[in-house]
Structure formats: structure tokens, C-alpha cells
Amino acid sequence: MPMPKGVLFDFDGVVVNSFESHYSAWSSAFKELFNEEIAPYPKSHVGKSPRKIARYFCEQIGKGDQFEDLFFLKDKHLELYFKVPNLLPGVTDFTDYLSTNQIPYGIASNATKLFLRQSIKHLDLNFPVVFGVEDYKKPKPAPEAYITLATALGFAEGDFKDLWVFEDSLTGIAAAKSAGMQPIGILSKYSVEEMKAAGSSQVFENLKEAFDLLI
């Protein structure tokens, strides 16, 4: 693949393994709100917006109308009982290279900006441009997240085909593809076949493997 004009990253599942950070906050918030144990996290909702995830959990006990209450309480628990996510391999290799070679890059995630900022600060990561779910009217799988980030990085629509997007979810792959960018899959929850069927041009185990083979 030719070198990109810019590189756009999802966060959860690409930069960090944050499952425990999020699921523990969902679980404790659900327990506080309903005094019940939460359902297992559904693979079908990986990468989706927190509101859709909140609705899913509430619907499992017939209380779908309270999903906004769970959404806000989960965000509060995420801050109060913050668990630093685990950094995945290859992140600093990539950001160091992109910074040195003056290739614009940033994060567009369906996670909240509070979680993104806390995680980046605790892990001492170098991501100068970061967008979270509050920054979009239509979160992924709509293309708005990646279009917003690309525009902030100084790219015009004609540049989009030359932008790499690293994603681990079918939701994110759909967003990048709809934006006219080059989706590259990272394996966290889905198989190589599933990621390629969704539109990934290539698929890698993690950013380290992608860096070694592409850069």
C-alpha cells in the first residue's frame, strides 16, 4: 500500500484493551440503578455508541425507557471508578513515526471524551487531536466521526481515499468505508473473514503487526 496522507485511529480495541474499564462501569451503574446483575456484553454491540449499548442492557430487563439514566450513570461510574485500560502493542511505534514524518493523525471514537482524555493522560500517549461520541450528531456506523476528524486534520474530501483508518469493529469499518477512506482491520472481537467481509482492505493482529508490515 502507498503511504497515506493521514492516519485515523479508533480507540477501544485498537489503541487500548478497555473492556474491563467499560464493562465494570456498566455493571456497577446497572446494579445501582436497578439492583440487578447486568447481562453479558453482546459482541453485536462492539464499537457502537454508549447510548445504544445502554438501551440494549435496559431492554434485557424490560426497562428500555430508562436507557438514558443508565447512560449518564455509567459515565459517572467510569469517572469515579476509573480503571486505566491496557495499552496495546505498536501504538507508540506508530505515533512516533507519524509525528517524526509529519503525517497528520488522531482519534475518532464512540467512547466519551472524558474516558479518552483520562486514558491518554494516564498512559502518556501522544494523540494531539481526539474526538469522542459527544462530538457527532450521528456516531459510527455513520461516517461523521471520521469526516469530522479528517476535516480537523486539514483534509478535504478529495484526500479521503488516501487516509488509513484503523478499526476493530464492524461498526467502525462501516463508518470508514462510508467516508470513502481505507479501512484497515485490527483483530479484537471479530475474525479476519468478518473484517474483510465488512470492507477491511487488510487485517492485522494489532498495530505492531500493521506497523511492521506496512511501514
CB-CB neighbours of 191 under 10 Å: 11
| Look-up of cell digits 479518552 | 116
Is 114 in a helix, a strand, or coil? helix
Question: Is the overall model pTM greater than 0.85, yes or no?
Answer: yes
- Strands 163-167 vs 6-9: parallel, antiparallel or unpaired: parallel
pLDDT given for residue 65 in this prediction:
96
Give Dmax over CA atoms of the chain in angstroms: 54
Query: What letter does residue 12 receive in the DSSP assignment?
Result: B
Is 138 in a helix, a strand, or coil? coil
pLDDT given for residue 10 in this prediction:
98
Burial class (CB in 10 A: 0-12, 13-18, 19+), 124: exposed
Structural domain boundaries of the chain?
6-17+85-214, 19-80
- In the chain, which residues have pLDDT < 70? none
What is the CATH number assigned to the segment(s) 6-17+85-214?
3.40.50.1000
185 bridge partner residues: 167, 203
CA atoms within 13 A on the CB side of 81: 14
pLDDT given for residue 108 in this prediction:
98
Residue-by-residue DSSP string for 45-109: GTT--HHHHHHHHHHTTT-GGGHHHHHHHHHHHHHHT--PPEEPTTHHHHHHHHHHTT--EEEE-
